[in-house]
Structure formats: structure tokens, C-alpha cells
Amino acid sequence: MFKKNKNKKRMSAVRKNLLPKKTVSKKNMVRLFLVCLVLGSGLMANKWLSSVTIFPVKQVKVEGEFIFLDEENIRKRISKYSVGGFFDLDISELRNQLVTLHWVDDAFVRREWPDKLVIRVVEKKPVAKWNSSGILTAEGHLFYPKNAVISNELVELSGPENRHGYVLSELNKIQSIYYPAGIRVSKLSQNERRSWKMEVDGIEINLGRKEIYKKVENFSVIYAALFKQKMKEIRLMDFRYTNGFSILWKQDVMSELTDKKDLMSNEQNFMTKHFLIGAMKYV
């Protein structure tokens, strides 16, 4: 009995010695204190640096070459986002506000020590009008600006909805063909039936749906070789024929109008009258 109790005491002592001591060393305590000190100092420093009264933004510089944008409107748009401390300004939000403007292509915002905010704005460059009210950039981006005065020198494009990118790409191909001849397309359109029309020097040109580039090239040669000196006398050219084209002269229309005949029937009569069978032999 006594021996058994003695063994139990020994086993209990061994178990106690095997258990780890739950004590924190002075070294770990110092480390924990230093970590808390650093974190607290960082929070206080961040609050101090973000203080508007200590580091306010005093200057906002707007850079860029503007034709359609107004610098004052840009400043108004970002006014409530550019007020704050030098370090706590939300640069991303400032940029997001700028790129929502119709004529802004891109924007870059940066801080300049100690109190300046520099904003560089890249204005969109229009290359064509789309269906009267839309504007296209060279990249094919379509937007609808309000109360903008757009130059009449821009090419006028038109077509079915969501076809603006395709029509613009076709314009670029046609202009590359015409560039050596110095011909400039002022209007290009595609209707719902995918039939093409264009305008050059005030002349309406029907191209139809097939072999568009061949007809474009034919007009280029005709323009240079046959009609360059008489382009102002032509009202309409029609290339929708297999082996030729037709011409409607302005003088023919005027002479027929003096007889008080219907304009549409006149066009049909004179296009038939001036249809050149085999005219493509010249090209």
C-alpha cells in the first residue's frame, strides 16, 4: 500500500516536469513592445502627414493642348476631389473623373512636392462625324459631345447602328488608294442593304455592294485621265453597272428643270443617256 502511493507521487512529479512552462521571456516582451511602438508611431505619422492643415495642396496645374476642352471646366470637375492633404489625395478617383468628360482621351495625375498637383489631359482628336451627331476618333471610339462646334472639314460617315468602326476602316482603305491622286472623300455611307455611296468634290458616287475597291480604283483613274477638268460640271456618277458607268451632268439637270419635269425621272433619263457601254476600257 505504501509502495503504491510512493510510485504515484513519482509519476505525478515526472509528468509535471514534462509539461512546458507557460512563461514569457523578457526578450519576447521587449520585442512585442517595440512592434506596438512602431505600429502606433506609424499610425500617428500617417494621421499627421494626411492632415490638410500641415500639408495642404496649394496649387493645381492643368497641362495639355485644348481645342474642344476648357481648362476651367476641368478644374470645376475635379474641384471637390482635389481638396485635401498632399498625401491623402485619391489620385485614381481624380483620373476617373477626368476621363468621364466627352473630349478627354486620357489623363495623368501626379503630386509635386511640397504642395502641387499636376494634371495632364490628352484631348480626343476627331477624324470623322458619324450619323450627324456622333464623333469618331482615329481609334474608332464613338462619342456624342454636347454643344460642340465641329469643323466641316471632317469626313461625314453614316450607316447602320454599331457599324461605325467598320465604315471608318473602309474609309481608311479608300483614302489609301486615293492618296497618290490627291483625291479626298468628303462623305461615305453604307445603307441597310450594305450598298455604298461616297462623295468627292461635291459629286455623289454610287458604288453598290460588289467589287467596291475595283470601282474606287476605276474612279481614281477616270478622275485623273478624263474628268479632272470637268469635275465641277458633274452631279452624280453611278458605278453599279457591270461594264460601265453613268454620269449625270449638272447642266442636263438644269436644262430639264426649265421644262418643269420631275427631278427623279430626269436623273434616270440622263444616266441612261450618258451611260458608257464598255467605258472601263479606259481604265
Q: Are 83 and 221 members of one domain?
A: no
* 248 shares a domain with 216: yes
Out of 74, 91, 123, a domain closes at 123
Residue 251 belongs to some domain of the structure: yes
Same domain, 100 and 164: no
Angle at CA 282, nearest 5°, toward 281 and 283?
90
> How much is the pTM?
0.69
Beta-carbon-side half-sphere exposure of residue 158 (alpha carbons within 13 Å): 13
User: What pLDDT, on the 0 to 100 scale, is given for residue 261?
Assistant: 47
pLDDT along the chain (283 residues), means of 10: 52 50 59 60 50 69 92 86 72 90 93 89 95 93 84 91 96 95 94 96 94 93 77 88 86 51 47 43 36
Residues 94 and 143 in one domain: no
CATH of residue 65's domain is: 3.10.20.310
Question: In the listed set 74, 97, 123, which residue is the last one of a domain according to the structure?
Answer: 123
- For the chain, how many residues are written? 283
Supply the range of the domain harboring residue 169. Answer: 126-282
Cell of 133: 451627331
pLDDT of residue 283: 35
8 is a domain residue = no
What domain count does the chain have?
Answer: 2
78 and 149 together in one domain: no
Residue 135: inside a domain, yes or no?
yes
**Rounded CA separation 135/145 (Å):** 8
Same domain, 106 and 195: no
C-alpha–C-alpha distance, residues 231 and 209, integer Å: 24
Measured CA distances, 257 to 102, 229, 250, 254 (Å): 46, 25, 11, 5
Task: Identify the pLDDT of residue 273.
Answer: 44
DSSP string, 35-70: HHHHHHHHHHHHHHHT-TTTSB--EEEEE---SS--
Which secondary-structure segment (H or E) carries 185?
Answer: strand 185-190
The answer to whether residue 69 is domain-embedded is yes
Task: Examine the domain organization and report whether 146 and 69 are in the same domain.
Answer: no
Residue 25 lies in a domain: no
Alpha-carbon torsion (208, 213, 216, 222), positive or negative: negative
Do 132 and 191 lie in a common domain?
yes
